[in-house]
Amino acid sequence: MDELVHSVREIGVLQPVVVRPDTTGEAEYELVMGERRWRASQAAGLDAIPAIIRDTTDDNLLRDALLENLHRSELNPLEEAAAYQQLMAEFGCTQDELSQRIGRSRPQISNTIRLLKLAPEVQLKVAAGTLSAGHARALLGLKDPSMAAPLADRIIREGLSVRSTEELVSQQDALLTDEPKKTSRENPRHERLDYLATSLSDRLDTNVKITLGARKGKVQIDFASVEDLNRIMDILGNG
């Protein structure tokens, strides 16, 4: 609870609580879901928090309300991560079940949820859109989490790509363990490929990896199910 209070104080409530009109006459609304977020908001001194109002306690309708909120186009990656976590916690969903329910790949859900492990100051940059989810996931690989915030500032200041960020993280970890960073002439950097992989990942809403060998290249696209693959093919077909 202390960690949640700190997160709410620094970032705010990422995912709305669910309320319904109170039939007892004691209050205007009755809290249905989100008691921990509500209590943490009180402890953090917030005057108002986002809420979804529903007239029923039926789990299916409440789940639909949360999914409707999840599919809002303006959700930032952290709000999306909070929505995934809330759905799994309050409805007992696994990542695989959630993947099938909302038509998104399990790796994409897993990688998005990991963003909630970032330090609050880094999460703020992701929420503000100054740091991409790809950059943030690279920072999660740091052996020393305290280095995430200063490295995030450097990424923004120098406009580093995701691939450059991964190399920066590797260099930082090598310094921490006193291991010299290995270089290889067989795997040169390809900034354009990194950009295209990131663009495809965002468009297809799944993990995309592009590699280039000596004679040929390869594009790897992750999908969670046949339905998810059909969704991806539809997007590619309409492109």
CA-based radius of gyration for the chain: 21
3-state secondary structure of 223: coil
- Among 3, 28, 30, 35, the active-site one is 35
Q: Report angle CA 71, 75, 78 to the nearest 5 degrees.
A: 120
Distances in whole angstroms, Cα of residue 233 to Cα of each of 107, 238, 239 = 18, 8, 10
Distances in whole angstroms, Cα of residue 206 to Cα of each of 67, 80, 203 = 18, 14, 8
The amino acid occupying position 94 is T
35 is annotated as an active-site residue: yes
Residues 6+ away with beta carbon under 8 Å from 234: none
CA distance 62 to 56: 8
How would you classify the pairing of strands 208-212 and 29-33?
A: unpaired
**Residues labelled as active-site residues:** 35
